[in-house]
Amino acid sequence: MHESEKKPLILERIYDSPVSEVWQALTDVSKMKQWYFPMLEDFKPEVGFTTEFTVPHPNGNQYVHRWTVTEAVPQKTIAYDWKYPDYEGMGNVRYDLEEADGKTKLTLTFRILESFDPDKFPELSMKNFTEGWTYFVKAIEDYLKK
């Protein structure tokens, strides 16, 4: 595994919304399409559920994303493995929610489980994943403010 892939990425945010609203944003496909991936066709917060969709990248490539839910505790935790079937490697993203004085504390943890070989595929580097997850935790906040 590449040295940069060994340490998990952990992002924490406080949202001025109740846990139930943040949970819906993270697990209801109609809401996920608004802030996350508009091309997402299906999602269920159930262990073992798998979905696949294609995302265009600014570099011109099309990236097939395959998610498999690995943990689902309603109103608390949703986690799924994240794979690009056309490439080596696999990650896991985990969202943990906790109530904080009427607001919600979100902790996002992204771990690389199998190397994405960032020397060969720089677009799959931890630096790019960090930028992407930072963008998404802000996108959730913007969505919740609507």
Q: What is the domain-level CATH number for residue 20?
A: 3.30.530.20
| Sign of the dihedral defined by the CA atoms of residues 21, 23, 24, 29, in that order | positive
Residue type, 59: N
H helices of the chain, where? 19-27, 29-35, 126-144
Total tally of structural domains belonging to the chain: 1
Question: CA of 21: how far to CAs of 8, 46, 140, in Å?
Answer: 26, 18, 11
Q: What is the pTM of this model?
A: 0.94
Contact 82, 90 (CB under 8 A): yes
State the helix-helix crossing angle for 126-144 and 19-27, rounded to 10 degrees.
120
Stretches in the chain below the pLDDT threshold 70: none
pLDDT at 1: 73
pLDDT at 119: 87
What range defines the domain where residue 51 resides?
Answer: 3-144
Residue located via tokens 């608004």:
34
For 92-134, the pLDDT digits (tens) are 999 999 999 999 999 999 999 999 888 888 888 899 999 999 9
